[in-house]
Amino acid sequence: MPAHGFNGHNSSAGGRPGRPGREFGLASNFFRLLKLTPVKAGGACPAYPARVPYELLDADGQRHEIETRSETGLQGGQAIGLGLLLVLHLANHRWPFLPFNAPWTLFACLILGAVVAAMNYLWLKTRPPYRAYRKFLLTGWEATLYATAVFSVSMSLPPPLKDFAGFVPLPIFMVITTFSGLRYSPGVVLMMGGYSITLQIAFAHLILPWREAMMVTVGDLVYQGTITLVTSLVVFNLLRLQREGLIRRRLERFLSPELVSEVVRNPALLGAQTRRAVATVMFVDVRGFTALSEHHSPEEVVGLLNRFLQETTQAVAEHGGMVDKFIGDSVMALFGVNGATAQVDDALRAALSLRERMAAVNRLLAEEHRPQLAHGVGIHTGPLVLGAIGSGDRFDYTAIGDTVNVAARIQGLTRQFGVDILLSQQSRALLAGTFELAAMEAVHVRGREEPVAIWACKGRTT
């Protein structure tokens, strides 16, 4: 595989433009959703606005869609419920079956509420553009409407029940506050709770003696306040879990599980300034892939390639690495991007695991009289740049730098030396475990003036 094929971006730390290679990284398709312009951030690395991850993942857009559907259901339910109450109210005036007749103020509230709810339902069915203030306006309107209705009913209670008029709104508004959580906003719940508490306390002090009014005030603050806080916390946590689940489901198709967990904790990683790190890069490539493609059908080649990529991905993941991208018949993996101290050992263990895995695969292929697969692994450790890198229309979360180039060149030397695993002197110096290594002659690699000292790995020492 041509060495420049591993990266469609700059081919060196110095910024020399590289020719487009065979890169079809999984994450690159995901980052095409971005429409951003880099902004300067006082260094060599570009920076992007912190709002990028939210637009990229569209978690807010998904939540807005859920809010709109929920609001549509709420308005439709209110229209039906208020309509039924209106029929009940009219029937009680015509054929009295309740101990008292509600005032005509309630009749007006029910008509107005049912009509407005029906109009809102029909409007929301057209999926209008989302507006954050919409749920607050609707909440304020409904709180005022229900307060008017409840207080008018309380004032019209017959004498035996009149003494409890100041207590009637409390359970009703507790239920209303709880249902306001269906608007998927802790702010709406707090607004409804605060509005309800204020109205109930004012109403109690208007119609009740001071002692009873204070009882209502204390009860309102305790019970209604508790309901409000608990409901808002429940809504907040449900939204957080929903958002994290959405981000995780979308990212798991493009990024490694380790990076997904880090992004879920801190989504700004996908949009913040690129960062420098010392990491280990591992390139894995199928040998003789061109000849394999020439002599076998495309379907058979794809099946073999998918098996190789699957084994490589699993070997990397099991040892704490991150598959950065697939590049035709090659894989670029990163170790230590999250600060792992044994990154070289992990990379070498992953390479040895892949050796065992592919040996087992080749035994099965031989039994099936199918072509066997040989591969080479190149490992190098050094400084690089990590982050969302690309143009305004296409982004990829990847690594750039001379370290990446050298790792690719070292992998290309495995065929020349007749071995399957090579690592640089920089990687060897960081090994903590015991591995059986053999020194190879220093070689000049393309793009480097100084020769690179390399070592072959035969296995682990017992």
Per-residue pLDDT reduced to its tens digit, 196-212: 788 778 777 777 778 87
Residues 167 and 309 in one domain: no
Between 189 and 248, where is the model more confident?
A: 189
Between 361 and 196, where is the model more confident?
A: 361
Q: Look at residue 41 and tell me if it is in a domain.
A: no
The answer to whether the CB of 177 falls within 8 A of the CB of 225 is no
Per-residue pLDDT reduced to its tens digit, 100-149: 676 778 788 888 989 999 999 999 888 888 888 888 888 888 888 887 88
Tokens of 117: 């709810």
The answer to whether the CB of 274 falls within 8 A of the CB of 369 is no
Residues 290 and 399 in one domain: yes
Residues 337 and 201 in one domain: no
pLDDT for 35 equals 33
Residues 381 and 314 in one domain: yes
- The reported pTM is 0.54
pLDDT for 250 equals 67
Residues 160 and 294 in one domain: no
> Domain residues for 200?
59-250
Residue partners of 420: CB distance under 8 A and separation at least 6: 355, 374, 375, 376, 377, 414
Measured CA to CA, the distance from residue 79 to residue 32 in angstroms comes to 43
Residues 215 and 280 in one domain: no
Could you tell me the pLDDT band of residue 47, with boundaries at 50, 70 and 90? Answer: very low
Residues 372 and 338 in one domain: yes
Q: Return mean pLDDT, the chain.
A: 76
Using the CB atoms, write b or e for 140-179: b if 16+ within 10 Å: eebbebbbbbbbbbbebbeeeeeeebbbbbbebbbebbbb
Residues 225 and 347 in one domain: no
Amino acid at the residue 208: L
Which of 24-28, 47-51, 90-94, 456-460 tops mean pLDDT?
456-460
The CATH number for 299's domain is 3.30.70.1230
pLDDT for 161 equals 62
Residues 230 and 284 in one domain: no
Per-residue pLDDT reduced to its tens digit, 370-379: 888 999 999 9
